[in-house]
Amino acid sequence: MNEPWERDVIEKTLLAAVTEQRRARRWAIFFRLTWLAVILLVALPLFASWFGNSNDSLPAGGRPHAAVIDINGVINSENDSARKISDGLKNAYKDPNTRGIILRANSPGGSPVLSGMAYDEIRRQKALHPDIPVLVAVEEVCASGCYYIASAADKIFANQASIVGSIGVLSEGFGFTGAMEKLGIERRLATSGRDKGMGDPFSPQTPAQISMRQELLDTIHGQFITAVRQGRGKRLQTGEDLFTGRVWLGSQAVPLGLIDGLSNVDAIAREQLDTDNVVDFTPKDSFSSRLGKRLGMQIADGVRDGLSMRWW
């Protein structure tokens, strides 16, 4: 029989060997997972570019069709609204089978800047392709910045219960100066420039800043009105004040000249473009693009300006 010290040495040797094997196995698993992560990081963008293409391989339809481009949700940079409209228009116009373009609108509005950019692009493309009409089909709502964009089209249609209009501008924010005084909190804001801190919710507004802010709103509102008048022309009725920011139902908007009739995408394609073939030309975000935007939005959620302007 082995001596106790011999057994002890053997046990320790075996235990060390088992421990070393476990350590080697853990490192092997770690390296495999690392390589898998690297492969996924390389492969996912390629996979997304092949199968999640934004618009490079749109269906041509094979025969004459109505090209549909969606205007969905809030018009802002997160949704990439202006670029999607622009890219959709370019691809639709490139297709020789496109008989006309239908903007399917479902938006409460959003950024004045992006709305203006989309409006200008529609008018530019219309001038380049005068034989291909641009029509709008309002579904639930097309208000404020969405209506600004829609007014660039040749004709606007909606459901009788759709919400349209809201030709106005809104700037919102909060003021906490009263609550801060009650709590004994002092705001220490250092600026270079008299009006640099305008819109700061923790600082009082001066009469001059209130006036300046209103002047900005009125100027943008004037730009909105000019665009609508330019787009709708003599169809607008002058007896009703259309520019107060109120909304109308589709059935009310027809006699006011805000829209041209009651219809939907399929009916517009048949009756206005003489085709029952509807092809979606709305640019789709790739997987990598959606992932990047989601990360960006999570970061941006905590960074909001005190002075924000939008149509709605």
Known catalytic residues are: 144, 196
Cα–Cα distances in Å, from 13 out to 1, 6, 21? 18, 11, 12
Question: Is residue 137 within 8 Å of 154, Cβ to Cβ?
Answer: no
Cα 188 to the center of its chain, rounded Å: 36
| Residue appearing with tokens 């939005």 | 297
Q: Give the amino acid at 69.
A: I
Six token digits for residue 73: 């949700």
